Structures are given as C-alpha cells and as structure tokens.
Structure 1
Amino acid sequence: MKSIQQKLRKISIGVFILIAGGVLLSACQKNDNDNIDIPAAALMAFNLSPDKEAIGVNLSGNSISPTPLNYTAFTGRYINIYPGNRTIDAYDYFSRVGFASSTFDFEQDKYYSLFVVGADTVFNNIVVEDNFDGLSGSNGKAYLRFVNAIPDSSKPVLTATAAGQQLVNEPRDYASVSAFKEVTPGKVAINFSNNGNINVSREIDVQEKKAYTVLLLGKPGSTDSDKSIQIRFIENGTLSDSTAAN
C-alpha cells in the first residue's frame, strides 16, 4: 500500500501526520494473498462564507465530515476521497438545505482544496489543485498562496513583503485563489485594501519548507467582529527535501 507522499515524494510524512492528519491516499483491501490498491485523491474543505455559520459538504451524496464546518473553519486535514467526476453540494448543516452545487473531476493521487464562499443569496464552491509536486523542499524557501473570500467587487490591492522584497502587489478578484509563491522564511507583512471599506493588515511568520494558505475574510460593513474584514492563515504541510516525483 502506498501513500501519496510515497508516490510524489513532496510532503514529508512525519510532519504531515501532525499538520494534516497523516493522509493515506491509497487504501488496501486484502483478497486472499493479494493487496489491491484503491485509487484515491485528497481534499481539504473550508467554510469561508460569512453568511453561513455552519455548513456541511457532500461529495456525490456522501458527507465529508461528521461535524459542521463553522465560519472560518476547515477540515483540519486532507480527507481521502474517491477520484473521478464528483458532485459537490454545500448545505446548511442543521436545516440540510443546499445552497451551492457544482461538479469537479478529481484525479488520483492529487491534493485539492475546496473553498465555500459567498454571501446573501449567491454562493460558490471553488476547487483548486494543491500542486505540492511543483514546489521544492530543498531551496530554503517557504510558500504562500492567497484566497480572496471577501464578497466585494472592488478588486482590493493585495501587497505582501518579506525580507525587504515585495512578493505581491496586485488587485485580487473576489473568489480568486493564487498559485503558491516562494518566499524567504521569516516575517511576511500583508495588506489588503481598496482604500474604502476594505483595509486590513497582518504580519505572519513562515518557516522553511512549509506551504501556507492566507485567507482574506469577512464581509464589508459587518458589525459582527467575527465577520469583520480579517486575515487568517493555515499551514498546508511541510515539503520533503526531494524535488523529484517517484
């Protein structure tokens, strides 16, 4: 039985067990003396909709989590899923009423993130591949990507600076997810602003070999502190020294 870590040689198993639940992407069934690898992909899901306090997510009718995802919460680890073309349904956890539906073709042995975003009556499921296989664990760098989940059409400007070098300086569309960018380990200063109702800053620390997702969150004009404009981040995993896929 092989895990995706063994196949791609990108995420170090020991650290990833602590960070993301020790994902094994091929289960084994024993039939007499033969082991049969069951194809699998991996998914991490986030509730980034300020108008949805608790959601559930079904893949082809099967729930991915026994507990609700509260606003700003995520599954905390990558979850084994069957690959192939799957229907994704996000729903209010307690009423069981669906509010966002889509399909996505998940490929075997790959990692994905699902971001449920939206407000008022418009919601979307955003799925992206987490391409760890394209990142180096031996160049002394960390990696960041940015998700704009603030429901606003003004395209605020995102700036990020690390070690005196500007990493990002560009407007970001709502519901956009950037690719991972390499960054010098240490402090990263981040600002997201439209010079109006969105203006938030935060400094975070990033470590060598690690990949992070920065979440730009909240609802403009909200008087609820939990739904105010804010910057959060999560650690996706730690890259191995090897840069070659097996």
Structure 2
Amino acid sequence: MKHYFIAEIRNYLLAISAMLLCAIVFSGCSDDDDNPNPPPVTGLMTLNLAPDQEAVDIALSGNLLPGSPLPYLGYSGVYLNIYAAERPVQTFSYLSGNEIAATTHNFMEDQYYSLFVIGANDNYRNLVVMDNFDSLSNAAAGSAYLRFVNAIPDSGNPVVTVTMGDSAYVDTPAAFGAVSGFTAIPPGEISIRALSSTTDISRSITLEQSKIYTALLTGMPGETGDTKTQIRYVVNGMLAEEPGKQDSAAVANSF
C-alpha cells in the first residue's frame, strides 16, 4: 500500500513557490525496460527558518538543490527527488557564500524527509527529520494530521498547545530544534499557541480531512516585521491509497 503526497503552499509564503506544486509518487521499482535497476531514490523538502538569513543555498553531496536560493520563510514547495544514500548536507549564506551549517545524513530509499535550516547569529543547524507518513496509515479515519517544529532561537522552551474548543490535542514543552510527531486531529479550526518567558505567539488554522500539516514556530524574540516570532505552516501532503511507481524520468531528475 502506497501513500500519495501532494506538497502545497500557503499564500503567505512566496508566490513563486506556487509554481512548484506537483505530485510525487515513490516506490521501489521501475517499469522502464531500458533501465531495470534505477538508483534508489527518496524525497526531501527544504525550508529556510533562519530569521537572519535572507536566503540560503542548500547542497547535497556538493550539488545545489533546485529552488536555490531559498529565502527566509521559503520552502521547496515539493518533495524533491534525491538519491538515497548517506550524503553530506551543506547550507550556505546566499549573500556571503560562506558555509553556515553542515551535517551528514543517511537518506533511506522510498521515504520522505524534511530539512529545516534553523538558528541565528552564526549558530546554525541543518535539522533533518524523516516524515514517517507510513505511521499514519492506521490512524483514525477522517482525521487531519499536525506536527510542529520549534525554530525560534532563545525561545525559552515554550509550552506548545493545540486545542479545538475544549479539547487539547497537544500540550508539551518544546526545546529549540524540537520536532513533534504527527498528531491525529479532527478536521476544523484549531488554535496553536507557544508560551514561555520570552515567547507568546498564537494563531488559528483550519485543518482539512486527510491533509498533513507542519506548524512552523519561527522568528526572533524582540524582532518586528518578517523576522518577528510567529507561527506559519505548510501542508506536507494528503493521505490517500493509490498505487504508484517511480518512473525513469523522475530518476533522471534526482539529485
């Protein structure tokens, strides 16, 4: 059984990213007789959540990923096809050209990953997490699914709550760089809040059935404008049960 994911963008993110919307389906084989053993691939979504980096370049194994430079609050818009292997991940400041973060990650075949570039003031991190959508296959039917990432430096371990009416679905402290698991929540309007001695932000989101969301806690305490502390979100995709295959054209466009 395969899960079919469609990456979406919200209109408060850069409009240019909307042109990138498409569907990506992964499986372990190809029907192309000319290439019976294509290289293993996986999916990667990239997000720039470093508030003092106006734009960044992200490279895998020394190759820049499409969509570079990625502006602050921008993201790739889709899960990019990449080759599955243990690979170095580098992030560069677009303005200076200097490397600001580096790590190595073992990308497994036929999975989905998110790369969050986080940090500020010359202290940055490439935060790579597996988006374990397979774990949602037996979740409550008819639900939406939400997780969060705390990308606010010096946020003082805020308590993150997600509520709908009188029901609380998330109520947990979150250190800087914490990424929660996905929580099943009924469709409808929810309230998200992050509260600490240095951070107090909130917003409402209307969740749709079967869609998968990531709430982005981002910004710098005490700042204003785009770099103020705030909650944004992206739609990672939608749960469905459709068979799919990885065709040779998609493999040829992997990175």
TM-score clears 0.5: yes
Distance 1:113 1:209 in 2: 19
Q: Where do 4+ consecutive residues of structure 1 move more than 6 Å?
A: none
More strand by share: 1
Q: CA deviation at 1:51?
A: 1.1
User: 1:106: which partner in 2?
Assistant: 107
Decide whether the 8 Å contact of 1:24 with 1:80 is kept in 2. Answer: no
User: 1:171: which partner in 2?
Assistant: 173
Q: Give the aligned CA root-mean-square deviation in angstroms.
A: 2.2
Q: Which ranges of structure 1 fall in alignment gaps of 5 or more residues?
A: 1-7
Q: CA deviation at 1:37?
A: 2.9
Deviations 1:52-83 (A, max 9, x none): 11001000101112431111110000000011
Alignment of 1:61-76 (within 5 A): 61-76=62-77
Q: CA deviation at 1:38?
A: 2.7
TM-score of the aligned structures, taking structure 2 as reference length: 0.83
User: 2:249: which partner in 1?
Assistant: none
Instruction: Give the length in aligned residue pairs.
Output: 229
* 1:35 to 1:110, Cα distance in 2 relative to 1, 3 A: same
Decide whether the 8 Å contact of 1:30 with 1:36 is kept in 2. Answer: no
Distance 2:158 2:8 in 1: 35
Alignment of 1:90-105 (within 5 A): 90-105=91-106
Distance 2:7 2:122 in 1: 38
* 1:184 to 1:230, Cα distance in 2 relative to 1, 3 A: same
TM-score of the aligned structures, taking structure 1 as reference length: 0.86
Distance 1:45 1:235 in 2: 13
Decide whether the 8 Å contact of 1:215 with 1:233 is kept in 2. Answer: yes
User: 1:155: which partner in 2?
Assistant: 157
User: 1:10: which partner in 2?
Assistant: 3
Q: CA deviation at 1:171?
A: 1.0
Distance 1:214 1:127 in 2: 16
Q: Which ranges of structure 2 fall in alignment gaps of 5 or more residues?
A: 10-20, 243-255
Q: Partner of 2:162: helix, strand, or coil?
A: strand
User: 1:5: which partner in 2?
Assistant: none
Distance 1:217 1:241 in 2: 33
Deviates most, 63-72 or 169-178: 63-72
- Matched AA of 1:9: K
Matched, 1:58 2:51: no
